[in-house]
Amino acid sequence: MFNEINKSIDAAISSGAQYADARILISKSRDISSKDGELEDFSNSENMGLGIRALVGSSWGFYATYDLSDESLKEAGKKAYLIAKASSKVPGKDFPLADVPIVKDEYVTPHKQNPFKVSTTDQIDLIVSSTHEMKKIGSSRAFGRLNFWDTEKWFASSQGHEIYQNIIESGGGISSLSIGDGETQIRSYPQSFGEYRTGGWEVIQSFKFLDHVERISEESKRLLTSPQCPEGTRDLILEGSQLALQIHESVGHAIELDRILGWEAAYAGTSHLELSKLNEHKYGSPLMNIVADATLPGALATFKYDDEGTPAQRVDIVKEGIWKGVLTGRDSAAIAGVSPGGMVRADGYGRLPMVRMTNVGLLPGDSSLDEIISSTDDGVYMETNRSWSIDDLRLNFQFGCEVGWLVKNGKITDMVKNPTYTGITPNFWGSMDMLAGEDEWIFWGTPNCGKGQPSQIGHTGHPASPARFKNVRIGVRG
């Protein structure tokens, strides 16, 4: 396959590109969805193609094609060059690419059972029986979903990289929807939109959906008759998956160097962070230690090399509350004068690789959820995300959760519905005063991170354990 890729790369370089790299991908995916004990959708997908990018001056030109004939591969290289060259009508400053090791290597995601070799009957039975049970118990609607990806990619560059990787990802989830008088309430497991990791069928087996159908069905029904989450300023305790999304939105996107440099300004936005304040800016409390770690076994954004051929690595992002690092690519790292962190990936062969979160997670503390609750006099414990919104500087956010629990004098008392909280990023993280430990630290995965134009969907990981935040505005309603 590398011979094929190099035909494209050679064509781009001989046309005049200063650098070129390309990937051939064979991507398989399987989507299984169920509603109310019926199979709603069963789809297998497979596609194959090449994407090549060529650097001319200050601009990338990218061309992708499904046609892998010799003639087409060479034409793709030339087109990538011509597209980049067209950009010279509106040029920026030329930039070098940051140096990375030139590697020839192979990697396969560690897994026990390739999900595409497991009986589809077993997969369908598991998710259909889960929704059947919830419907039987009394959910107005019961939803379930399984997704699997098996991606083979061959990456080569004009500098001599030749890397083969086979990334296997699995995930899914179940939800119970209860419909009341002019309202709906939902409970999901393991988290909203499901939980996703690298690995095989064993990932799904570990979720034990059927052990949770009764709880989430009963909770969604009970929410209909529960009181509204009270408005006010009080302590907020976040369950791990909600904290994972909080990290994703208010830290993960904010530390993307392409955003900080303004490359995403018109669409996804920029960042409240200024590079001149790296190593000085107070991001949060001393309990806040965030790392971007693409080497965590089993986490969703774990690989050996990114889509520029840079080795996966662990990078400090926030240390004891102080901002220490950014997410980079070879181009942005060179411009900003920082090390390339192996954080560039593309959504399939047809998209330009761009800066993407790896496993951006909050390192565990030394407390526990039980300790946090028992030491809280007046607060709300919120579980499982229901809505999320944040401004384009990643400062002003508002999240809604599926369920809230009032905490009074160290004990959980009442269930409350429609819990929301709002805040400003550094103030919020600065108020974190308790953090659960390694026993409750889970590698939460987000399979639906949108970024870029044309739009790309990224898979990111966010290890987190429950935490407490002081004096948060809670219970905002329309």
Partner 1 sequence: MKIWDNLIEDIGKLIPEDVECEIKMINSTESLTRFANSHIHQNVEEELTDIFLTFHADGKTTNLNLNITSMGSIEDIIKKALSEIGNNPKDSTWPGLTSKENSFNGYKDISPDDPDIRAQKVKEFIEQGQTYNGAGYCSSNVSNVFVWNTNGLNSSDTATSAFLDGIFRSETSAGSSHIGNKILSDIDAQKVGQEAFSITKESQNPEDIDPGVYEVILGPDAVSTILVFLSVYGFNAKSKVDGTSPIEINVEQFDEKINLEDDPHKKGALNFKIDASGAPKKKIEIITNGIPKTFFHTRRTANELNQSNTFHEMFGWGDSFGGLGTNLYLKPGDISKEEMISNVKKGIYINEFWYCRVLDPITQVVTGLNRNGSYLIENGKVTKPVGRLRFTQSFMSSLGQGNVLGVGSDSRFADSEFGEGILNVPMLHLKEFNFTGGVSG
Q: Using CB under 8 A, which residues numbered 420 to 439 contact partner 1?
A: 420, 422-424, 427
State in angstroms the smallest separation of the CB of 326 from partner 1: 17
Binders of partner 1 among residues 162 to 221 (CB under 8 A) are: 177, 179, 182-184
Chain centre to alpha carbon of residue 34: 24
Whose Cβ is closer to partner 1: residue 351's or residue 468's?
351
Give CA–CA dist 98/249, Å, rounded.
27
**Binder of partner 1 out of 4, 13, 58, 74 (CB under 8 A):** 58
CA angle 287, 288, 289 (to 5 degrees): 110
Whose Cβ is closer to partner 1: residue 86's or residue 210's?
86
State in angstroms the smallest separation of the CB of 236 from partner 1: 13
Whose Cβ is closer to partner 1: residue 68's or residue 412's?
68
Asked whether position 137 contacts partner 1 by CB under 8 A, the answer is no
Q: Which stretch binds partner 1 (CB under 8 A): 149-157, 277-285, 303-311, 418-426?
A: 418-426
Give CA–CA dist 9/22, Å, rounded.
7
Asked whether position 225 contacts partner 1 by CB under 8 A, the answer is no
Whose Cβ is closer to partner 1: residue 209's or residue 263's?
263
**Which amino acid, 369?**
L
Whose Cβ is closer to partner 1: residue 364's or residue 475's?
475
State in angstroms the smallest separation of the CB of 72 from partner 1: 9
Cβ 134 vs Cβ 174: under 8 Å? yes
Estimate the crossing angle of helix 120-137 against helix 213-224, to 10 degrees. 40
**Binder of partner 1 out of 49, 361, 463, 466 (CB under 8 A):** 49
In this structure, what are the phi and psi dihedrals at residue 474, rounded to the nearest 5 degrees? -125, 150
Q: Which two tokens stand for residue 364?
A: 């565990």
Residues in the chain, how many? 478
Binders of partner 1 among residues 371 to 410 (CB under 8 A) are: 386-392, 396, 398, 400
State in angstroms the smallest separation of the CB of 306 from partner 1: 17
State in angstroms the smallest separation of the CB of 85 from partner 1: 8
Binders of partner 1 among residues 284 to 343 (CB under 8 A) are: none
State in angstroms the smallest separation of the CB of 279 from partner 1: 24
State in angstroms the smallest separation of the CB of 146 from partner 1: 12
Q: Which stretch binds partner 1 (CB under 8 A): 47-55, 97-105, 165-173, 272-280?
A: 47-55
Looking only at the bridges linking them, the beta strands covering 232-238 and 378-390 are parallel
Whose Cβ is closer to partner 1: residue 328's or residue 359's?
328
State in angstroms the smallest separation of the CB of 348 from partner 1: 9
Site string for partner 1, 77-106 (x = CB under 8 A): --x--xxx-xx-xxxx--------------
Asked whether position 265 contacts partner 1 by CB under 8 A, the answer is yes
Q: Which stretch binds partner 1 (CB under 8 A): 60-68, 150-158, 312-320, 357-365?
A: 60-68
The count of chain residues that interact with partner 1, using the rule CB under 8 A, is: 84
Give CA–CA dist 216/193, Å, rounded.
14
Whose Cβ is closer to partner 1: residue 97's or residue 315's?
97
Asked whether position 70 contacts partner 1 by CB under 8 A, the answer is no
Give CA–CA dist 356/56, Å, rounded.
23
Whose Cβ is closer to partner 1: residue 315's or residue 333's?
333
Chain centre to alpha carbon of residue 453: 18
**Binder of partner 1 out of 324, 351, 356, 451 (CB under 8 A):** 351
Whose Cβ is closer to partner 1: residue 92's or residue 297's?
92
**Which amino acid, 48?**
M
**Burial class of residue 29, CB neighbours in 10 A (0-12, 13-18, 19+):** middle
**Which amino acid, 25?**
L
Site string for partner 1, 14-43 (x = CB under 8 A): ------------x----x-x-x--xxxxxx
In this structure, what are the phi and psi dihedrals at residue 237, rounded to the nearest 5 degrees? -110, 125
